[in-house]
Amino acid sequence: MRTIDMRTFVVLTRTRNFRRAAEELNTTQPAVSSRLAAIEREYGRRLIERGDGVFRLTDAGELVLKGFETALDELDKVSAQLSGSPVVRAAPLRLGAIDTVAATWMPDLIDRLHAQFPGVQIELTVDGTAPLLAGLKNDRFDVAFAIQSLVDEGFRSFSPCTLQMIWAGSPRLIDPGHRYTPGDLARLPIISFPKASPPFLMIAPYFHDEKLLAANLTSCNSLYAIVNLLIDGFGVAALPAVTIRRELKTGKLCALNVTKHFPAMPVIASYQGLTQQDTIRAVVETSRTVAADFCAKVEPGTAWVE
């Protein structure tokens, strides 16, 4: 079995697309198809069900994938030992994250990954949950940290942490000594994340439960912009407490005393589970550790590991 055939099979099962596999391998789609056909002829078994939008590993394909990954990992380690250099991931490590994660423990994760994989290039994309999950499904990311999981064949998810949500506003706008009901909040200008985003979808039930609607609601796709709007007294917002801990400490923002708490927000990490690359496994485990370390050092009750 040629090494290039094994690599082609592993890349194809990860990308789930012949064109993207060909681009990553710097070859052509016919070459990818030819290599897959050669592997299936050698084993005498169909390894991938494909066609009409279906791409699924057969039981034999799952077995072959595990064997190829193990063999390629060992070959890479031997090459690294013979050359006297550490194993370096050739392709960039592509991470996607909502800005809440980017503003909290993502810098620690990037530092830890650079220490683990000297020379690795990390590409971080900050976006909303929906585009991040779409990008992960289309193989634009290796791991995505969002508020929802990617529920699809071949993908796995876990929750590295959960964040407490609080209502916050400028002391110029709100009364820190007042206890706000949902009705009180509904009469204030409210800033939220974009429509259809998970945090936005939490807003309506918060008020609908009390048969109230927010009368003055503005949506914004940037956490940084929302925080600055709050500081300027533009309105109030429900945000993860850890993302505004500096503003709360300096008094630029105040946490509202409310009669009804906003639901906590879990952070969900999703990744391609069809392949078990050492690097992706390391990113998953390191992100668990980094998130737990972050939760341990912030104010108790603002971020935690389930």
Domain 93-163+266-304: assigned CATH number: 3.40.190.10
Mean of pLDDT values over 82-92: 64
Beta bridge partners of 167: 238
pLDDT digit string, tens, across residues 8-29: 998 888 888 888 889 888 899 9
d(CA 115, CA 204): 43
Please state the three-class secondary structure of 9-39 as a single string.
HHHHHHHCCHHHHHHHHCCCHHHHHHHHHHH
Structure token pair of residue 66: 């595990």
pLDDT digit string, tens, across residues 122-158: 999 999 999 999 999 888 899 999 999 998 877 899 9
pLDDT digit string, tens, across residues 230-253: 999 999 999 999 999 999 999 999
pLDDT for 85 beyond 70: no
d(CA 62, CA 48): 9
pLDDT for 227 beyond 60: yes
d(CA 241, CA 104): 11
d(CA 87, CA 199): 40
| DSSP count for the chain of H helices, then E strands | 12, 15
Domain 3-83: assigned CATH number: 1.10.10.10
- 78-82, 186-190, 298-302: which has the minimum mean pLDDT? 78-82
The CATH class of the 165-263 domain is: alpha beta
Fold agreement (93-163+266-304, 165-263): yes
* Domain spans in the chain, listed from the N-terminal domain onward: 3-83, 93-163+266-304, 165-263
pLDDT digit string, tens, across residues 186-209: 899 999 998 888 888 888 788 876
- In this prediction, residue 298 carries a pLDDT of 96
